[in-house]
Structure 1
């Protein structure tokens, strides 16, 4: 087996362990940190799969902005999860049913890396043979990201920027202890 398979296995094992830890940990600050770790592991998997643009988005939005937003919310609300005593059979059945349908839907897909897959018969040869002629860029990946998918990449940058501005706005609206004390005094007077 090649070293790439070992790297994939290690990343997937860490991903599963982190996902299970997110489920079972009750301290919400730890859950926020584990969610950030999960996003970084997903970004690493995207890098291994040669989807670096998706990895950048996952790392910045998933691990960066979402973690900061979760920590900001936890600073306002508290850090312990309330234990629910409700039956969770119905949600479990819904998740198992949905997962089963998704797995069933993948049976008709071509095998991973199959050179005879439909995408390799039409789109890939077009990019490989005409990229330099259409864009003037010698690197196919750069040409696809900057030229063919330029608007998509610009959209990803816009999403990251908007999420960052949203987090800054949400965190800037936190009340100080002085403001909370003033509100409590007003409530007591009423």
Structure 2
């Protein structure tokens, strides 16, 4: 029962933070609230026993994204400009996308179901072999570091490449704003 209350409180804070982000025009406050949103999401993932996802969300969502957003904000104004167009089309697009995502969840098996595909295919094989093949006591770490090592390396490379690209773009903005004597 207490776990459900914690989940509901975290989810309520997520919703309130998202509403605040959507309503604010101060970009610094938006950047800070977006970092807070990522930390709340990481906390929610922790309560769902998805430690690897929580760690990634905290590192990438709250850490790197917030730093890069603040770096980009240093090159712009602190207030969002008033939109010149109607927000009805983006709102409609978000509603249609949300409805499609909700429709897509109708086929998802019940949470924790033993008949879920994740439990009936390679998962049992990983659990049976990980202890003898690798010898690492934490199964999530063992699977991410060995069986899915190339996949994890690929994800890390994509994140690193994206960070370098953003830093290069930010650097170009700094050079463009300098005077000719520097």
Q: Give the TM-score taking structure 2 as reference length.
A: 0.85
Deviation at 1:169, TM superposition (A): 4.2
Partner Cα separation in structure 1 for residue 141 and residue 132 of structure 2: 14
Deviation at 1:36, TM superposition (A): 0.9
Secondary structure at 2:14's aligned position in 1? helix
Please tell me whether the aligned partners of residues 132 and 138 of structure 1 are also in contact (alpha carbons under 8 angstroms).
Answer: yes
Q: How does 1:46-65 map to 2 (within 5 A)?
A: 46-65=45-64
Please tell me whether the aligned partners of residues 34 and 66 of structure 2 are also in contact (alpha carbons under 8 angstroms).
Answer: yes
Q: Give the TM-score taking structure 1 as reference length.
A: 0.81
The equivalent of 1:78 in structure 2 is 77
CA distances 1:9-53 after superposition (whole Å, capped 9, x unpaired):
121111111100000011111111111111111222222222222
**Which residues of structure 1 form unaligned runs of 5+?**
184-190
Deviation at 1:79, TM superposition (A): 0.6
Deviation at 1:152, TM superposition (A): 2.4
Secondary structure at 1:107's aligned position in 2? helix
Between Structure 1 and Structure 2, how many residues are aligned?
Answer: 180
User: Alignment RMSD, CA only?
Assistant: 2.4
Assess, with a 3 A threshold, how the Cα gap between structure 1 residues 153 and 49 changes in structure 2: closer, same or farther: farther
Bigger Cα displacement from structure 2, 117-126 vs 154-163: 154-163
**Which residues of structure 2 form unaligned runs of 5+?**
none
Deviation at 1:163, TM superposition (A): 4.4
The equivalent of 2:128 in structure 1 is 129
Secondary structure at 1:76's aligned position in 2? coil
